[in-house]
Every structure is written in structure tokens, then in C-alpha cells.
Structure 1
Amino acid sequence: MDLGLLGRRALVCASSRGLGLACASALAREGCDVILNGRDAGRLAAAADEIERLHGRRPALAVADLNIASGRAALLEIAAGPDILVTNNAGPPPGKLGDWDHLAWLAALEANMLAPIELITAVIGSMRKRRFGRIVNITSAVVKSPRLGLSLSTTARTGLTAFCKGLQREVVADNVTINNLLPQHIDTGRQLEMAQRMMRDRGISFEEARALQARIVRAGRLGRPEELADACAFLCSAQAAFISGQNLQVDGGSYDGLI
């Protein structure tokens, strides 16, 4: 299927590895002029090399820290007026209620709610004028299935979800859509970190931790980043113009809720 994305400019945040890189690669495959973002110039260059090797399109690079205002300003200057914005950022670490002081809450809100809101606010006007825009937020399954140990992430990402639900009502008539991808059990560095945590907490081997991770997924395996990335590419497509304000779970059928 031709997704109608040839020549579209796509800014993908935190895209030097993991889910961000997978989404950037999928959009480059569909003909987008992709802008990669990250804090490590060397890692970004390696990601660009990979995408160019796979798809013959060399992404532009934006070395900028999403978690600080000056970094976001630099990013927006490099990637002015994108047709597609994929927001993504590392989540705060899991913990216990007593672990989180005021600064921890502020850092989570800055990284996973305020930073994407600021980027969305900056690009939405030009998208509406061109009458084409696709915004996809990579959030988390915990938005629908809160866990106390992940409260920093849950709270910040749910705030972003609420903001975008209201905003999309105002912009969808201009062919600007806003949707959220809710990953869970995707085989990225985050899952490796969680496996190592299980090893420490339970005194088990790496192989045992990985088997436990797969066992709790209804599909019986961890997801591949490319599977989420293909969903992202479709939500950015011309064909997805009538899909907005949605939360698509990419979790191997693990969510137990009805809605």
C-alpha cells in the first residue's frame, strides 16, 4: 500500500535507537524526509547510516535534549514546519511511592508531558495552514493500565493524552490528526533493563528473566520495534485522515480491558 508520504518532512524525537529509530526507519521507507533527534551525535550518525543503508534516504540530524527548553528550541529551529511529528522520550525509572520527591515529579512531567506539548504547540499552526499534519505520541500501556511502581510515567503520559484528546477536536477538520501508540512488552533496551531488575530482585538468570517477560504476553513473545513502527507509519498516512484522538495498544493482546 502506498501511504502517500513521499516527500513529507517527519520529525521523530529520541530516534537514535529503540522505538524512535524504528519509527524513523519506517517513515524513511515510505519516502519521508526524516529528521532524527538525540543527545549523542555519534549515535545519531550511526542511526542515520543504518536508515540510509536500508532505504537509500539520508536523514537530517538534530542533536538536542528534549528535556530542556533550549534543546527543544534548537530542535524546532532545525526541524521547522514538519508535516509529521512523532513524540517520544525515555520514561522515568520505576520505583516506590517514597522514592519520588518533588524534583522527581517535575522531571517526569517535563520529559513526558510538557516537552511533547511544547513541540506539538509549536508545529500545529503550520500543519493546519498546509491542511496536512500527523502527530503520533509514543506513550505507554500504563496510560490505560496504571501501576503504582510506574506512577511517574503514568501520570505524565496521561496528562499528555488528555491534552491531545482535547486539541485533536479543534484541528482534525484541517486534516491534522493526533493519535497515541501505547507500547508494552516491546523488545527494546527498556525490556533489557527490566530483565536485569528481575534478575536482581528475584535472584534468577538472564534467560529465566527473559522467559518470564515473554510468558506474561498473551502472544507468547515480546514484540518487535518494527511492529510498532509500521503502526506508526500507517497513522501518519494519507489513508488515516479519519483516525484521530485514538490510543492504539501495541502489546500482543495483553490488555484485559474492553475499551
Structure 2
Amino acid sequence: MDMGLEGRKVLITGASQGIGEGLARSFAAEGCELFLVARSADKLAAVAAATQERHGVSVHTLPIDMTVPGALDAVMGFAEGADVLVNNAGNIPGGNLWDVDEVAWRQGWELKVFGYINLTRTMYAAMKRRGGGVILNNIGNGGENFDFNYIAGSTGNAALMAFTRALGGRSLDDRIRVVGVNPGPVDTDRIKKVLRSHAQRTLGDAARSAELLSAYPLGRPATVDEVAALFVYLASDRSAYTSGVIITVDGGLTSKRSV
């Protein structure tokens, strides 16, 4: 299905690996011009080179730590004209209230929670001046499934869900759509690390992490491409009446736990 996105400018944060890398591939396949931001210059360059070679689109990169002073200005100077912003950068630490001290909690929120909010605030103003745009927030279903052992992430994700709904409830007045996506477990290096940690804690052996997959729908996490495809649809005009909502992609895990 042609999403009608060819030529649109898409800014993706945290684009050097995992879901961010998949987002770059998927938007490039639609003919979008990409503006990719991440901390790792080497990984970002590799993603850009592979994407350009496969899809022949223009790919611009900005290797930067978005938590350092002046980073927001640098990102806006790099991609202020983006038609689509995908907030994706973030790595809130796992652990319970006593595992995650104040410093680690604040550092995790600085990139994901405040990073999303601050970039959205500035990009929204630029989009409004140009007559519209789309802002997509990659959040995570931890904001719906409150987890004792992921308390900083559950709390941060819940805050971003509220932020997305509050802003997206009126953003169409400015011809801007704001939508959140809550992936569940996704087949990335991060989930493999999480599973190894869970296996060590619950089974006493990190090498038995594959056994935990039996509790997942279809016995597996979502693929990166399954999640990225939703973002592409939400960014397109085929989803022109979608704003102020959160769409969960977790194979039914959230609904299962609610029963």
C-alpha cells in the first residue's frame, strides 16, 4: 500500500539501533528524506549508509547526546523543517524503587521523558508556523502495565501517555497530529538483555532466557518491522483523523493482564 509519504522529511531520534533503525528503514522504503539523530556516530553512520544504499533516499545524520546543553538547538538547526517527528530516544533503567536511585532516575527521564517533551514543544511551534505536521511518540506498554521492577520506566511512560493525549486532544486545531505508540516486548538487543536479567532472577540462570518466551503471544516478541510499519501508517494521510490517542502493539499482553 502506498502511504503517500514520498519526499516528506522525517526526523527520528535514537535512530542508530533497535526500533529506531527499523523506523529509518521503513520510512526510507516510502521514499522519505531522513534526518537521523543518535549518540553513537559510528552506528548512525552505518544505518545511514545501509539505508541510502538500499532505498536511494537522502539521509542526514546528527550524532549528539540529546541531554547535553545546546543539544535541542542543534537538533532544530539540523531538522527544523521536518514534516514528521518520531520521538524514540530513551533508555530508562530497570529496577525497583531501591535499585534506581535519584541520579539514575533523573538521567533516564532527562532523555526520554523531558527529551520527548522539550523536542515536541519546539518542533510543534515550527510545524504550526508551516501549517501542520505529525508528532509520534514511541512510549512503551510499561505505562499501562505498572511494573514493580521497572518503576522508573512505568512511571515515565505513563507520564508520556498523558502528555500525548493532552497535547493531541487539541493539536488538530493547528493541523498537527500527536499520537503515541506503546510497543510491548520487541525483538531487539534490549529485550534480550531484559530477558537474561529476568531469567537470572526467576530461574537462577541467565542462559535460560528463551524459556520465558513461552509466556508471550505466539511465543515470541514483536518484530521491529511490525512496530515500524504502524508508525509509517500513523505518519501518513491515511491516518489523518488520528490524534491524542495511544495505540498498543503487544500481542494482547495488556488486555490479557486486565482480565
Q: Which TM-score bucket, shorter chain as reference?
A: over 0.9
Q: Helix, strand or coil: the match of 1:135?
A: strand
Partner of 2:182: 182
Q: Which moved more, 1:236-245 or 1:96-105?
A: 96-105
Distance 1:22 1:102 in 2: 32
Partner of 1:168: 168
Partner of 2:149: 149
Partner of 2:227: 228
Distance 2:215 2:114 in 1: 32
Contact 2:33 2:59 in 1 (8 A): yes
TM-score by length of 1: 0.93
1:96-245 equivalent positions in 2, closer than 5 A: 96-201=96-201, 202-204=203-205, 206=207, 208-212=208-212, 214-245=213-244
Contact 1:217 1:253 in 2 (8 A): no
Shift of residue 199, structure 1, vs aligned partner: 4.1
Relative distance call for 1:4 and 1:109 in structure 2 (3 A) is same
Partner of 1:78: 78
Contact 1:136 1:236 in 2 (8 A): yes
Contact 1:198 1:204 in 2 (8 A): no
Contact 1:186 1:224 in 2 (8 A): yes
Contact 2:181 2:248 in 1 (8 A): yes
Contact 1:136 1:179 in 2 (8 A): yes
Partner of 1:53: 53
Distance 1:179 1:56 in 2: 28
Distance 2:253 2:205 in 1: 24
Shift of residue 227, structure 1, vs aligned partner: 0.5
Distance 2:221 2:100 in 1: 29
Q: Which moved more, 1:123-132 or 1:77-86?
A: 123-132
Q: 1:205-252, CA deviations, whole angstroms, 9 ceiling, x for partnerless residues?
A: 63x31231x212123222110110000000000111101111111112
Distance 1:40 1:7 in 2: 26
Contact 2:92 2:109 in 1 (8 A): no
Relative distance call for 1:35 and 1:242 in structure 2 (3 A) is same
Partner of 1:254: 253
1:13-92 equivalent positions in 2, closer than 5 A: 13-92=13-92
Q: Helix, strand or coil: the match of 2:231?
A: helix
- 5+ long unaligned stretches in structure 2: none
Q: 1:117-154, CA deviations, whole angstroms, 9 ceiling, x for partnerless residues?
A: 11001111222233331111111101111101111112
TM-score by length of 2: 0.93
Shift of residue 98, structure 1, vs aligned partner: 1.3
Shift of residue 17, structure 1, vs aligned partner: 0.7
Q: Note the aligned Cα RMSD (angstroms).
A: 1.8
Q: Helix, strand or coil: the match of 2:119?
A: helix
Relative distance call for 1:117 and 1:205 in structure 2 (3 A) is closer
Distance 2:218 2:244 in 1: 26
Identity among equivalent pairs (%): 28
Distance 2:96 2:156 in 1: 16
Contact 1:63 1:75 in 2 (8 A): no
Q: Which moved more, 1:91-100 or 1:38-47?
A: 91-100
Contact 2:90 2:108 in 1 (8 A): no
